[in-house]
Amino acid sequence: MGSNEQRSVLDKYLGRLNGPQTIGRGVPFWTCFLAVVVVLALCPEFLSRYEIINFSNFLISGFLALSLCLLWGYCGVLSLGQAAFFGVGGYTYGIVALNLLNAHGNTDVAFVAGIVVPTLLAGILGLIMFYARLAGVYIAILMLVVSLMFELFLLQTADPDYTIGAAYIGGFNGLRPASPDDPLLPSLIFGAGESVLEFDGRSVEFYYLTLGLLGAVYLGLRWLVNSSYGYLLVGVREDSHRTETFGYDIRLVQLSVFCIAAAIAGLAGVLYTAWGTFIHPNQFGLKANILPVIWVAVGGRKDLTAALIGALVLEWVGIRLAAVGEISLLIMGAILVVAMLVTPEGVVTTLARVVEQGRAFARARWGRGGTGPRSERQDS
């Protein structure tokens, strides 16, 4: 079977997952994808429990990277405050879970609330920002200020009066139960009727849950950006005023993608809080907001896969380097500066382009497959 036939079979079964707005369309890409999934799935077999707990946390950063990649990379709206939705999701989950755990015996409502509340917050902020025609650096700065205001406020809630039912906001001590009689902040417990499914943040099951959710969000976003809505996002990114002259209300497009990105960041916050059964105001801080921007910029902001790899690899390198001591921050900084200078479009995006050009060159030289990379970009 020639590569064109293989591709048309892939297009048939993978449809919009395999579209031109995302790197990786051919058999080699999906083979690598499956291999990575299998390796990640087998990790608990050959890694220590401590490492699996760390890996769960890496995967959680992946959600934040995907969220920012969709918003910034595809729609061109840079937010320096994406952690605000992460934090709001985490705190919402914690507060609702602390209050409802005894009554419900599960965290179903808390899980949903941790996604819905940041989405609603994004809806309100987005309405104000986009309908006031804010753009570019103003949105970036405004969102950073929003996040830092959350941090500032939450740091001042150490007074015991700051309780919501069974949840004590706790200021710089982090979220905790209001009294010794209240339950502790739980990991995820899904329940339906009598049956209960528990995912302890330190368990292998939690790792698999996070991996499954990350895969689902990644594939869901691949489908989204290759849909007609995805092209509209790219249109808004490349020339928002031009897109408007075609009759699109771009404020609505930006608002919708802002809400979707917030929902994903909220989900990451929920998982983070459930993972460590703890959340602290520094999740709204400067570092928490800037790190996702770095992951996405270094990986490649215009592609989901690149942003995801950027986040996972940089987080992993960060942990490995931490063992070296204080100098690790300098080494990490140097890696980032060099990466951004050498590949302004992102390391993974640039590597993918080199591979694609190499394959096109090979085809042109030895006549295998017959089509160049340009003509691969057909509509799905």
Partner 1 sequence: MTDNEPIIDTSGLVKQYGGIAALQGVDFSVDRGELHCIIGPNGAGKSTFFKLLMGIERPTAGAIHYKGRDVTSLGSFERARLGFSVKFQNIRVYPDLTVYHNLFIPLRRHHRMKKIPGQVAELLGELRLSGTENETVSNLSHGQIQWLAIGMSIAAEPEVLLLDEPTAGMSDDETRETAEIIRRLSATGMTILVIEHDMAFIRDLNTRTTVLHYGRLFAQGTFSEIEANEEVHQIYLGTL
Q: Which is nearer to partner 1, 159 or 249 (CB)?
A: 249
Return d(Cα 8, Cα 2) in angstroms, integer. 10
Which CB, 13 or 246, lies closer to partner 1? 246
Contacts 24+ apart (CB under 8 A), 236-243: 236/75, 236/76, 237/74, 237/75, 237/76, 238/76, 240/76, 240/135
What are the C-alpha distances in Å from 232 to residues 127, 235, 252, 324, 367? 19, 5, 11, 46, 36
Q: According to the binding rule CB under 8 A, does residue 357 interact with partner 1?
A: no
d(CA 332, CA 350): 20
Concatenate the DSSP letters of all residues of 322-367 into one string. HTT-THHHHHHHHHHHHHHHH-TT-HHHHHHHHHHHHHHHHHHHH-
Q: Is 171 in the site for partner 1 (CB under 8 A)?
A: no
Q: Does 195 bind partner 1 (CB under 8 A)?
A: no
The answer to whether the Cα torsion of 289, 119, 222, 203 is positive or negative is positive
- Part of the chain binding partner 1 (CB under 8 A), chosen from 28-36, 87-95, 239-247, 269-277: 239-247
Least separation in angstroms between CB 237 and partner 1: 8
First-to-last CA distance in the chain? 20
Of 4-63, binders to partner 1 (CB under 8 A) are 20
Does 232 bind partner 1 (CB under 8 A)? Our answer is yes
By CB under 8 A, name the one of 57, 244, 350, 353 that touches partner 1: 244
Structure token pair of residue 341: 């200078």
Strands 167-168 and 176-177: antiparallel
Site string for partner 1, 126-165 (x = CB under 8 A): ----------------------------------------
Choosing from 5, 45, 50, 374, the residue that interacts with partner 1 (CB under 8 A) is: 374
How far apart CA 347 and CA 340 sit, in angstroms, is 8
User: Minimum CB separation from partner 1 for residue 309, in Å?
Assistant: 21
Between the alpha carbon of residue 186 and those of residues 64, 97, 99, 100, 162, the distances in Å are: 22, 7, 11, 11, 20
Smaller CB separation from partner 1, 330 or 354: 354
CB of 302 to partner 1, least distance (A): 8
Spatial contact of 78 and 135, defined as CB atoms under 8 Å apart: no
Count CB atoms within 10 A of the CB of residue 196. Answer: 11
User: Are the C-beta atoms of residues 253 and 232 closer than 8 Å to each other?
Assistant: yes
Number of H helices, E strands in the chain: 15, 5
Q: 182 in helix, strand or coil?
A: coil
243, 273, 343, 349: residue in contact with partner 1 (rule CB under 8 A): 243
Q: Which of 239, 320, 334, 364 binds partner 1 (CB under 8 A)?
A: 239
Residue 256 in contact with partner 1, rule: CB under 8 A: no
Pull the structure tokens for residue 30: 């999906």
- For partner 1, the closer of residues 20 and 171 by Cβ is 20
Q: Does 377 bind partner 1 (CB under 8 A)?
A: yes
Binding segment (CB under 8 A) for partner 1, from list 57-65, 113-121, 150-158, 234-242: 234-242
Selected range binding partner 1 among 2-10, 101-109, 229-237, 324-332, rule: CB under 8 A = 229-237
Which positions from 295 to 334 touch partner 1 by CB under 8 A, shown as an x/- string? -------x--------------------------------
Tell me the closest approach of the beta carbon of residue 25 to partner 1, in angstroms: 13
Least Å distance between CB 308 and partner 1? 20
Closest CA to 56 of 317, 316, 321, 332: 316
DSSP 184: P
Binding of partner 1 at residue 179 (CB under 8 A)?
no
Q: Which is nearer to partner 1, 176 or 251 (CB)?
A: 251
Q: Give the binding range for partner 1 (CB under 8 A) out of 114-122, 228-236, 275-283, 349-357.
A: 228-236
d(CA 333, CA 270): 29
Out of 46, 50, 246, 366, the residue judged to bind partner 1 by CB under 8 A: 246
Q: Could you list the residues that contact partner 1 (CB under 8 A)?
A: 20, 228, 231-232, 234-235, 238-239, 241-250, 302, 374-375, 377-379
